[in-house]
Amino acid sequence: MVANIKLFTPLKEDEIIKLEIGNKVLLNGKIYSARDAAHKRLVELIKEGKPLPFDIRNQVIYYVGPSPARPGMAVGSAGPTTSFRMDPYTPILLDKGLKGMIGKGERKKEVIDSIIKNKAIYFIAIGGAGALLAQAIKSARLVAYEDLGAEAIMEFEVVDFPVIVGIDTTGKDLYAEGIKKYQVLEEV
């Protein structure tokens, strides 16, 4: 069994280009939460030539809207949301320097092409494990868009946040490979 790979943010290109689909990664450092409403606002700022509320270069965005924190916790349940809702905005953010995304589910071809072009990475977090994932979030700080409630942009400090490489910097896609393997088994 392959050991977990520890990565620290901000991401370094020379480290993420070594990752392959299926690798188990433990993320450490700061990551940012944002869902579709926040993504729309970020892209509007870019189109207007205005600064973003945080330096996106080499950062990781987690597609999550955590529930309220219980006593002693930084956030409540923090499971990933479906990534395709961010697909219309993702290539623009990748072109601005975003290096990593965390979510669940497949990505459109345009996003995969942008991942390749920008040498970025897509991580998968396990859906249904929000309470477990929240334990790896040690602090949470509001960054922007408080009016969005749980979907506001937050800065999380994470320690050993467990993810799996879903799409690597070469565009290999864990979902597509899984489907191919299943089809081969089905033909046997």
CATH code for position 47: 3.20.130.10
Q: pLDDT tens digit string along 53-64?
A: 999 999 999 999
Measured CA to CA, the distance from residue 100 to residue 116 in angstroms comes to 12
Domain count, the chain: 1
Q: What integer pLDDT is reported at residue 3 of this predicted model?
A: 73
| 159: amino acid identity, one letter | V
Backbone phi and psi for residue 49, each to the nearest 5 degrees, phi listed first = 75, 20
Output the CA angle 186-109-184, nearest 5 degrees. 10
Which position among 35, 39, 41, 107 bears the catalytic label? 39
Range of the domain at 58: 5-187
Measured CA to CA, the distance from residue 127 to residue 70 in angstroms comes to 20
Q: What integer pLDDT is reported at residue 175 of this predicted model?
A: 87
Q: What integer pLDDT is reported at residue 1 of this predicted model?
A: 46
Q: What integer pLDDT is reported at residue 182 of this predicted model?
A: 64
For residue 35, give the nearest of 96, 81, 99 by alpha carbon: 81
CB–CB of 93/61 below 8 Å?
yes
Q: What integer pLDDT is reported at residue 177 of this predicted model?
A: 81
Q: What integer pLDDT is reported at residue 83 of this predicted model?
A: 96
Kindly give the parts of the chain with pLDDT less than 50.
1
CA atoms 19, 22, 23, 25: torsion sign: positive
CA atoms 77, 120, 83, 38: torsion sign: positive
Active site residue 161: no
